[in-house]
Amino acid sequence: MMKSVHTPDAPAAIGPYSQAMIANGMVFTSGQIALTPSGEMLTGDVKEQCAQVLANLKAVLEAAGSSLDKVVKTTIFLDDMNDFVAVNELYAQAFGEHKPARSTVAVKTLPKNALVEIDAIALI
């Protein structure tokens, strides 16, 4: 059985997808970018955007009955690998001692010209 997740505490999906899906005791989030819950795109630097991305990810996970400390795997998409250190710093603060498996990939562009996007797979 699968169940979609929706919370007003994170931005609504900007396409034909869910904020997350729950299946077999796990939650699979869609990629989060620096949209506010009201749908406004933050145009600040990568640190400002990353902070919003992590807040969105946290809200979606919590709406699914999970949390950042139950994340098994993340994928980070960066439009510029030179932002790796700045994003890594905020990511480390958000996850604390918990260190999920992770991939970080440089991409040509992201939706709404975001600088960073993160998705996650977590236990419920």
Q: Mean pLDDT, to the nearest integer, of 30-48?
A: 96
What does the pLDDT read at residue 112? 94
* The pLDDT of residue 14 is above 90: no
Q: Phi and psi for 72 in degrees, rounded to 5?
A: -95, -40
Rounded to an integer, the average pLDDT of 65-84 is 98
**Domain 2-123, CATH:** 3.30.1330.40
Q: What is the mean pLDDT of residues 59-74?
A: 98
Distance CA 123, CA 9 (A): 20
> Is the CB of residue 82 less than 8 Å from the CB of residue 91?
no
pLDDT given for residue 16 in this prediction: 94
Task: Give the rounded percent of residues in the chain with a pLDDT score beyond 90.
Answer: 96
Compute the average pLDDT of residues 45-58. Answer: 98
Q: Are 90 and 48 a contacting pair, CB within 8 Å?
A: no
What is residue 1's predicted lDDT score, i.e. its pLDDT?
Answer: 87
Q: What is the mean pLDDT of residues 86-113?
A: 97
- Token representation of residue 12: 């609504």
